Structure 1
Amino acid sequence: MSNYLVAGGSRGIGLELVGLLAPSASQVDVWSRSVDGLEPGGRVRHLVCDITAPDPLPELPESIQGAAYCPGTVNLKSFRALSEDDFRRDWEINLLGAVRFLKACGPKLKGEDGDPASVVLFSTVAVGQGMPMHASVAAAKGAVEGLVRSLAAEWAPRIRVNAIAPALVDTPLVDRMLSTPEKREAMAARYPLKRVGTAADAAALARFLLSPESGWITGQVLGLDGGMSTLRA
């Protein structure tokens, strides 16, 4: 049984991932600023943590077999409307937060039974697709993709590093974009599979990437976008 660390595991994709990992884990540590929808206890431990603050990070178990960094931003504005502070905040949360997370857990990442440990980060479909109103978040997530490939090379064969690049996933971050049936229908129509993504979709892929079942996958950015990035239906 494995130990896992999930940053941002008290809501959205992270919360769903914790629910998938906990039944078969020794322990799942969750770092987030508040408990939100998480129910700590048993194999799930919540540790208060603001990854962007200068405070010391929580103590970690002696070894961790998998780690996922789930915090992110959805800051959709025209380039003209974006301030330097917008770019700075997206950079802090998406890239520098991930760097701080990985600096902390990297020395503790150790595989079991000959399998490497595994790390999962999150990008966005907008890095590869070039979407309007995404300049700030796409710039930050593009840096995340570079980090994934560099670390995958540097940490192989001991640790696998991959990222998931979702399109719109129905989480609290995008509530205003899916706030009416009409908005939801219009958004779903953009995808070849005619629906928006769910936290369960993203968590299932993250769980797969953290498991030995994906043991020959590293340095990859996997699209999770209902076909948007590759299909023209």
Structure 2
Amino acid sequence: MKKTIFIVGGSSGIGQELVNLLKQDFNIITASRNPGQGANEGVTSFYLDVTGESMDFSKLPESLDGFVYCPGSINLKPFKMLSPETFEKDMELNFMGLVRVLKEIMPRFNPGASLVFFSTVAVGSGMPFHTSVAAAKGAIEGFARALAAEYAPQLRVNVIAPSLVDTPLAKRLLNNEKKQQMMADRHPLKRVGTPGDIAQMAAFLLSGDSSWMTGQVLGVDGGISTLNIG
């Protein structure tokens, strides 16, 4: 019997790539604010706004083997230009939305289920103009470690911390060749990430091949977080 994976934010970018990777071997259910976008045959999708007051999970089965939370933001501005409301919005989407969803679905996880969240390389490596997103994603890292400890060995919880990935979310940062080359040159491997780079790691963490891994934050970042090549 196929295992069931629930992906929040599976209609574009990394989430959509992950759906394409998994749909042959797993029962995939996705939820997003644009459930028709990137629709896949055989994949159940429904509307979900993680920042909303009420969320309807009636289309979700009572038994889940994996969960991935993809919603995120890239809000890169100097601290002096960021209002407290901007910090609150980034925290709502990146972190509080995750908490709200988990509060509703935790009883559905089967023993051995794998949960995968997303952070950013900027949490572990201080980067200018990243104060808001690093704060929100930093909350996810601390939360994931504590959750992994609390629910071991019943559940595994891991986090992927990418550098810049070529997704619709990053379009503004990669919208011409000069920007693309500049961003590529910042990384030791001399390119920005692709959705497939990150989705492959998520698929690994959802699989039994990672069954002895929990509480980890894994950098998939072209080497930028650990290598200084001048």
Q: TM-score range by the shorter chain?
A: over 0.9
Mapping of 1:90-101 within 5 angstroms?
90-101=90-101
- Residue 173 (1) aligns with residue 169 (2): yes
- Residue 128 (1) aligns with residue 136 (2): no
Q: Assess if the C-alpha contact under 8 Å between 2:49 and 2:55 holds in 1.
A: no
**Match in the other structure for 2:192:** 196
What secondary structure sits across from 2:81 in the alignment? coil
Paired letter, 1:136: S
**Per-residue CA distance 1:163-213 (angstroms, 9 max, x = gap):** 000000110011011111111011000000000001110100001001111
Mapping of 1:23-102 within 5 angstroms?
23-25=24-26, 27-35=27-35, 37-42=37-42, 44-59=43-58, 60-102=60-102
Determine the C-alpha separation between the residues in 2 that align with 1:173 and 1:76: 12
What secondary structure sits across from 2:79 in the alignment? coil
Paired letter, 1:4: I
**Match in the other structure for 1:223:** 219
Paired letter, 2:15: G
Determine the C-alpha separation between the residues in 2 that align with 1:40 and 1:232: 41
Q: CA deviation at 1:47?
A: 0.6
Determine the C-alpha separation between the residues in 1 that align with 2:193 and 2:110: 32
Q: CA deviation at 1:131?
A: 0.4
Determine the C-alpha separation between the residues in 1 that align with 2:160 and 2:123: 12
What secondary structure sits across from 1:65 in the alignment? strand
What secondary structure sits across from 1:55 in the alignment? coil
Q: CA deviation at 1:36?
A: 5.3
Q: Assess if the C-alpha contact under 8 Å between 1:165 and 1:221 holds in 2.
A: yes
Q: Assess if the C-alpha contact under 8 Å between 1:6 and 1:69 holds in 2.
A: yes
Paired letter, 1:163: V
Determine the C-alpha separation between the residues in 2 that align with 1:31 and 1:154: 26
Q: Assess if the C-alpha contact under 8 Å between 1:162 and 1:219 holds in 2.
A: yes
Larger displacement relative to structure 2 (100-109 or 128-137): 100-109
Q: CA deviation at 1:162?
A: 0.4
Q: CA deviation at 1:37?
A: 3.8
Determine the C-alpha separation between the residues in 2 that align with 1:57 and 1:85: 27
Paired letter, 1:88: E
TM-score, normalization: structure 1? 0.95
**Match in the other structure for 1:14:** 15
TM-score, normalization: structure 2? 0.96
Change (3 A) 1:198 1:36: farther
Determine the C-alpha separation between the residues in 2 that align with 1:148 and 1:66: 15
Paired letter, 1:105: I
Q: CA deviation at 1:38?
A: 1.8
Q: CA deviation at 1:101?
A: 1.6
Q: CA deviation at 1:105?
A: 2.0
**Match in the other structure for 2:133:** 137
Q: Assess if the C-alpha contact under 8 Å between 2:36 and 2:45 holds in 1.
A: no
Determine the C-alpha separation between the residues in 2 that align with 1:120 and 1:71: 12
Larger displacement relative to structure 2 (47-56 or 185-194): 47-56
Larger displacement relative to structure 2 (9-18 or 97-106): 97-106
Q: CA deviation at 1:123?
A: 0.4
What secondary structure sits across from 1:118 in the alignment? strand
Amino-acid identity (%): 52
Determine the C-alpha separation between the residues in 2 that align with 1:38 and 1:15: 7
- Residue 108 (1) aligns with residue 108 (2): yes
Paired letter, 1:9: G
